[in-house]
Amino acid sequence: MCVLQSVRLTDEFMELAKENTSNNLETCGILGASFRDGTYYVTTLIIPKQEGTAHSCQASNEEEIHAVLSEQSLYPAGWIHTHPSQTCFLSSIDLHTQFSYQVMLPEAVAIVAAPTDPTRSYGIFRLTDPGGMDVLRECSESGFHTHRETTDGGPIYETCTNVHFKPNLRFEIVDLRSGA
């Protein structure tokens, strides 16, 4: 199964996040996808109301996100967030967020945009399954913490290889931040 998204998605997200990024605050968004012929097409970038810090970002008013997804019959194909001053990786809190997406949809991905990372400005990740998924399923900690190793000794998460970029895929941005 594969996920297709527009090449412009990350750039346009970074543009919407610019003010937060310059204030060293994270920004997050949700990838809404339609499903056709065995492929998820990311057609909608939802920017929820949110609380960002330098190292985390929490969506609020989650019912508004679900309303957009269900109105347009979209699958939550993952999420995107910035690391304004950190490198490109998934923190322990990010791993828990990604776990909740992968429980809903095994193909879901986490995109991290890290403009100050000297080696890569963005990455697309997923938890290894079953390795990382098992670790997260059994973890009840919150906040920043360390995770046990996977049973098979492999990594908890990996760079995603099932995401392909298309130049002309149309997508829509739904920015819920300013709405009442």
Residues of this chain that interact with Zn ion (CB under 5 A) are: 91, 94, 139, 141
C-alpha torsion sign, points 92, 99, 77, 120: positive
Residue 92 beta carbon to Zn ion: minimum distance, rounded to whole angstroms: 5
Cβ contacts of residue 17 below 8 Å, gap of 6+? Answer: 27, 82, 113
Q: How far is the CB of 17 from Zn ion (least distance, A)?
A: 13
Please name the helix (run of DSSP H) or strand (run of DSSP E) that holds residue 107, with its range, or none: none
Nearest residue to the partner Zn ion, using Cβ: 139
Closer of 4 and 96 to Zn ion (Cβ): 96
**Which lies closer to Zn ion via its Cβ, residue 77 or residue 111?**
111
Q: Toward Zn ion, which CB reaches closer, 43 or 98? A: 98
